[in-house]
Structure 1
Amino acid sequence: MEWLQSLFFGGGIAHAVLIFSLAITLGILLGKIKIGGVSLGITWILFVGIALSSIGMTVSGDVLHFVKEFGLILFVFSIGLQVGPGFFASFKHGGLTLVCCAAAIVLLGVATAYILHIVTGTPIPTMVGILSGAVTNTPGLGAAQQAYADATGLNDPTIALGYAVAYPLGVVGIIFTMIFIRYALRVKFEKENEGLAALSQEHKFADKVSVEFTNKILDGRTVEYLRDLINRQFVISRVMSSAGEIAMADTDTVIHTGDRLCVICQAEDTEAIVAFFGHRVEMADEEWGGNTPDAELISRRILITKPSVNGKKFSDLRLRTKYGITLTRVNRAGVDLIPYQGLELQIGDRVMVVGTAKAVAQVADVLGNSLKKLDHPNLVTIFVGIALGVLLGSIPLMNVPQPVKLGLAGGPLIVAILIGRFGTHFHLVTYTTMSANLMLREIGIALFLAAVGIGAGDGFVDAVVGGGYRWIGYGVIITVVPLLIVGLVARLWLKMNYYTLMGLIAGATTDPPALAYANATAGNDMPAVGYSTVYPVVMFLRVLTAQIFILFAL
Structure 2
Amino acid sequence: MRWLFELHQTQPIAHAIGALAFVCVLGMFLGSLKFRGVGLGTAGVLFAGIIVGHFGQPVDHATLDFVKEFGLVLFVFTIGLQLGPGFFAALREKGLKMNLLAAAVVVIGAIAAPLAAKLGGFDPAAVLGIYSGATTNTPALGAGTQAISTMEGVSADQLGMPALAYAVTYPAAIVAIIGTLLVLKQVFSINAPKEADEFAAANRRQVDPLERRTLEVGNPNLEGIRLAEVPGRLEAGVTISRLRHGSETLIAHEESSLHLGDLLVAVGTPGALDRFERVIGHRSEEDLAVVESNITFRRVAVTDRAVLGKTVSQLGLDKRFDVAVTRVTRADLEMSAIPGLRLQFGDQVQIVGSAADLDRAAKVLGNSLKELNETHFIPLFIGIVMGIALGTLPIMVPGMPQPVKLGLAGGPLIVALILGRVGRIRRQVWHMPVNTNLAFREFGIALFFAAVGLGAGAKFFATVFSATGLQWLLAGIAVTMVPLLLVGVFARVVLKMNFMDLSGLLAGSMTDPPALAFASNIAGSDAPTVGYATVYPLTTLMRILSAQVLAIALFG
TM-score w.r.t. length of structure 1: 0.91
Task: State the SS of the aligned residue for 2:35.
Answer: coil
Deviates further, 426-435 or 265-274 = 265-274
Where do residues 69-218 of structure 1 align in structure 2 (5 Å cutoff)?
69-92=69-92, 94-152=94-152, 154=154, 156-188=159-191, 189-190=193-194, 192-202=196-206, 204=207, 206-210=209-213, 212=215, 216=219
Summarize deviations over 1:493-536 as a string: whole Å, max 9, x none: 22222222222222222222222222233333321222222222
* Kept in 1: contact 2:237–2:336 (CA 8 A): yes
CA 111–305 in structure 1, closer or farther in 2 if over 3 Å, else same = same
Please report how far the alpha carbon of residue 173 of structure 1 lies from its aligned counterpart in structure 2 after TM superposition.
1.8
The reply to whether residue 424 of structure 1 matches residue 424 of structure 2 is yes
Please report how far the alpha carbon of residue 383 of structure 1 lies from its aligned counterpart in structure 2 after TM superposition.
0.7
The reply to whether residue 237 of structure 1 matches residue 241 of structure 2 is yes
Partner of 2:471: 470
Partner of 2:61: 61
CA 222–486 in structure 1, closer or farther in 2 if over 3 Å, else same = farther
CA RMSD of aligned residues (A): 2.7
Equivalent position amino acid for 1:474 in 2? A
For residue 250 of structure 1, the aligned residue among 241, 250, 253 is 253
In the alignment, the residues of structure 1 paired with residue 12 and residue 232 of structure 2 have an alpha-carbon distance, to the nearest angstrom, of: 71
* Kept in 2: contact 1:143–1:407 (CA 8 A): yes
In the alignment, the residues of structure 2 paired with residue 370 and residue 497 of structure 1 have an alpha-carbon distance, to the nearest angstrom, of: 42
Equivalent position amino acid for 1:30 in 2? L
* Kept in 1: contact 2:128–2:162 (CA 8 A): yes
Structure 1 residues not aligned, in runs of 5+: none
Please report how far the alpha carbon of residue 477 of structure 1 lies from its aligned counterpart in structure 2 after TM superposition.
1.6
CA 404–211 in structure 1, closer or farther in 2 if over 3 Å, else same = same
Where do residues 302-381 of structure 1 align in structure 2 (5 Å cutoff)?
302-381=300-379
Partner of 2:42: 42
Please report how far the alpha carbon of residue 256 of structure 1 lies from its aligned counterpart in structure 2 after TM superposition.
5.8
The reply to whether residue 407 of structure 1 matches residue 407 of structure 2 is yes
Task: State the SS of the aligned residue for 2:345.
Answer: coil
Summarize deviations over 1:428-484 as a string: whole Å, max 9, x none: 211111111111111111110001011111211222214111222222222222222
Deviates further, 354-363 or 382-391 = 354-363
Deviates further, 228-237 or 349-358 = 228-237
Task: State the SS of the aligned residue for 1:299.
Answer: strand
In the alignment, the residues of structure 1 paired with residue 80 and residue 146 of structure 2 have an alpha-carbon distance, to the nearest angstrom, of: 19
| Number of residue equivalences | 547
CA 167–87 in structure 1, closer or farther in 2 if over 3 Å, else same = same
Task: State the SS of the aligned residue for 1:495.
Answer: coil
CA 415–150 in structure 1, closer or farther in 2 if over 3 Å, else same = same
In the alignment, the residues of structure 2 paired with residue 9 and residue 453 of structure 1 have an alpha-carbon distance, to the nearest angstrom, of: 21
In the alignment, the residues of structure 2 paired with residue 519 and residue 261 of structure 1 have an alpha-carbon distance, to the nearest angstrom, of: 44
Task: State the SS of the aligned residue for 1:506.
Answer: helix
CA 235–108 in structure 1, closer or farther in 2 if over 3 Å, else same = farther
Please report how far the alpha carbon of residue 326 of structure 1 lies from its aligned counterpart in structure 2 after TM superposition.
1.7
Partner of 1:505: 506
Summarize deviations over 1:176-234 as a string: whole Å, max 9, x none: 222222221122333552452222332x3652242645773754354433354773323
Equivalent position amino acid for 1:77 in 2? F
Summarize deviations over 1:38-75 as a string: whole Å, max 9, x none: 10111111111111111242212211111100110111
Please report how far the alpha carbon of residue 262 of structure 1 lies from its aligned counterpart in structure 2 after TM superposition.
3.9
* Kept in 2: contact 1:325–1:360 (CA 8 A): yes
Please report how far the alpha carbon of residue 281 of structure 1 lies from its aligned counterpart in structure 2 after TM superposition.
7.4
Task: State the SS of the aligned residue for 1:151.
Answer: coil
Deviates further, 358-367 or 500-509 = 500-509
Deviates further, 312-321 or 323-332 = 312-321
In the alignment, the residues of structure 2 paired with residue 435 and residue 491 of structure 1 have an alpha-carbon distance, to the nearest angstrom, of: 36
CA 486–240 in structure 1, closer or farther in 2 if over 3 Å, else same = farther
Task: State the SS of the aligned residue for 1:457.
Answer: helix
Summarize deviations over 1:334-392 as a string: whole Å, max 9, x none: 22233333333222221111222122111110111111223332110111111111111
Where do residues 249-288 of structure 1 align in structure 2 (5 Å cutoff)?
249-255=252-258, 261-265=264-268, 269=272, 272-273=275-276, 288=289
Please report how far the alpha carbon of residue 552 of structure 1 lies from its aligned counterpart in structure 2 after TM superposition.
2.9
Partner of 1:543: 544
Task: State the SS of the aligned residue for 1:311.
Answer: coil
In the alignment, the residues of structure 2 paired with residue 495 and residue 223 of structure 1 have an alpha-carbon distance, to the nearest angstrom, of: 48
The reply to whether residue 526 of structure 1 matches residue 524 of structure 2 is no
CA 424–311 in structure 1, closer or farther in 2 if over 3 Å, else same = farther
CA 475–288 in structure 1, closer or farther in 2 if over 3 Å, else same = same
* Kept in 2: contact 1:311–1:425 (CA 8 A): no
In the alignment, the residues of structure 2 paired with residue 523 and residue 253 of structure 1 have an alpha-carbon distance, to the nearest angstrom, of: 51
Task: State the SS of the aligned residue for 2:328.
Answer: strand
Partner of 1:398: 396
In the alignment, the residues of structure 1 paired with residue 300 and residue 119 of structure 2 have an alpha-carbon distance, to the nearest angstrom, of: 61
Task: State the SS of the aligned residue for 1:231.
Answer: helix
* Kept in 2: contact 1:232–1:269 (CA 8 A): yes
CA 479–435 in structure 1, closer or farther in 2 if over 3 Å, else same = same
Please report how far the alpha carbon of residue 322 of structure 1 lies from its aligned counterpart in structure 2 after TM superposition.
1.2
Deviates further, 125-134 or 245-254 = 245-254
Equivalent position amino acid for 1:513 in 2? P
Partner of 1:456: 456
In the alignment, the residues of structure 1 paired with residue 186 and residue 264 of structure 2 have an alpha-carbon distance, to the nearest angstrom, of: 50
Equivalent position amino acid for 1:351 in 2? V
* Kept in 2: contact 1:68–1:452 (CA 8 A): yes
Identity level (%): 40
Equivalent position amino acid for 1:173 in 2? A
Please report how far the alpha carbon of residue 426 of structure 1 lies from its aligned counterpart in structure 2 after TM superposition.
3.1
Equivalent position amino acid for 1:198 in 2? A
Please report how far the alpha carbon of residue 302 of structure 1 lies from its aligned counterpart in structure 2 after TM superposition.
0.4
Please report how far the alpha carbon of residue 488 of structure 1 lies from its aligned counterpart in structure 2 after TM superposition.
2.3
Summarize deviations over 1:269-327 as a string: whole Å, max 9, x none: 5665566656777887xx62214xxx522121101222333333334322222122221
In the alignment, the residues of structure 2 paired with residue 217 and residue 537 of structure 1 have an alpha-carbon distance, to the nearest angstrom, of: 55
Structure 2 residues not aligned, in runs of 5+: none
